[in-house]
Amino acid sequence: MHARYLEDISSSDDYSETDFDLLLLFSRHVKADIDLKLLVKGYKETLNTMLRQMYGERTGNPSESDKEEIDLDGEKSSDILRAFYDIGWGIHLLAESDVSNIIQAIRWKSDDFQSFYNEDTTLKNYKLETDFFKIEAKDPNDKENFPKNSSGMITVMALLPNDINYSCLQLKAYIKVGQTWNFVEASLKEKSVTFQTVKIDAFCIVSNPIKEQVHISPDGCKYVSKTDKRIQIEFPPGTVEKEDLICLHVVPVDKQILRRKYEERSKKGEAILAISDCLYTTGDKHLKKKVQVKLPLNDIGKSNKSDEDYVCRLFRQNTNGEFTLTDTVVNVDENNTAVFETDKISGTSVSMIGKEELKKGPVVISGNIEEMHGFKSICKVVFFVSDVTSVGLTVLLACIEKSKMQAFRHICEEMGFHLYKNWTSKDLVFKPQNKINITLKGCFSLPRFSTRKRLDLTFLPYSSENFTRFEVEIKPKIDQDVYGILLLTKDQEIVDEIMFNTQRTKEYSHGSSFKGKKKPDQKTGLPVKKTVSRGKSFVNRKPTSSICQYSENDFLTEKGVLAVAKVLNAEKIFETVLHLDMKRVQIDQICEKIPNSSRQSFELLQTALDQ
CATH of 213-372, one of 3.40.50.720, 2.60.220.30, 3.30.470.20, 2.30.110.10: 2.60.220.30
Predicted structure pTM score = 0.68
Q: What is the pLDDT of residues 539-572, one digit of tens each?
A: 344 433 333 344 444 455 777 777 777 777 777 7
pLDDT score recorded for residue 428:
86
Residue 556: the pLDDT is: 58
Helix (H, G, I), strand (E, B) or coil at 452: coil
Task: Give the pLDDT of residue 277.
Answer: 95
Strands (E) across 98-253 are located at: 103-107, 127-128, 133-137, 154-159, 169-177, 180-185, 187-189, 192-197, 202-209, 212-216, 221-224, 232-235, 244-251
Q: In this structure, what are the phi and psi dihedrals at residue 133, rounded to the nearest 5 degrees?
A: -130, 145
Q: CATH code for 378-539?
A: 2.60.40.2660
List, for residues 282-320, the tens digit of each pLDDT value.
866 668 899 999 999 998 776 554 567 889 999 999 988
What is the C-alpha end-to-end distance of the chain, expressed in Å? 121
The ranges assigned to domains in the chain are 2-57, 82-209, 213-372, 378-539, 552-610
Q: Tell which residue, 542, 543, 471, has the closest CA to residue 506.
A: 543
**Predicted pLDDT of residue 536:** 42
If you ran DSSP here, which 8-state letter would residue 596 be given? Answer: S
State the DSSP string of 307-370: -TTEEEEEEEE-TTS-EEE-----EE-TTSEEEEEES--TTEEEEEEEHHHHTT-HHHHHHHHH
Strands 310-317 and 291-299: unpaired
pLDDT at res. 108: 87
Confidence of residue 501 (pLDDT cuts 50, 70, 90): confident
**Once rounded to an integer, what is the mean pLDDT over residues 5-27?**
48
Predicted pLDDT of residue 211 = 94
- Name the nearest CA neighbour of 597 among 482, 501, 489: 489
Give the three-state DSSP class for 609: helix
Output b/e per residue, 267-277; b: 16+ Cβ within 10 A. eebbbbbbbbb
The model's pLDDT over 201-242, given as tens digits with 9 standing for 90+, comes to: 999 999 999 999 999 999 999 999 998 999 999 999 999 888
Q: Yes or no: say if 91 and 158 are a contact pair by the CB < 8 Å rule.
A: yes
| Rounded-to-integer distance, Cα 181 and Cα 210, Å | 23
CA-angle at 156, arms to 152 and 159, nearest 5°: 170
Is residue 96 within 8 Å of residue 55, measured between CB atoms? Answer: no
Q: How many CA atoms lie within 13 A of 236 on its CB side?
A: 9
Instruction: Measure the CA–CA gap between 579 and 592, rounded to whole angstroms.
Output: 21
Dihedral of CA 476/478/483/484: which sign? negative
Residue closest to 562 by CA, chosen among 488, 492, 485, 481 = 481
Confidence of residue 18 (pLDDT cuts 50, 70, 90): low
How high is the pLDDT of residue 221? 93
Give the separation between CA 374 and CA 253, rounded to whole angstroms: 7
Burial degree of 91 (CB within 10 A; 0-12, 13-18, 19+): buried
Distance CA 368, CA 381 (A): 20
> Chain-wide mean pLDDT for the chain?
77
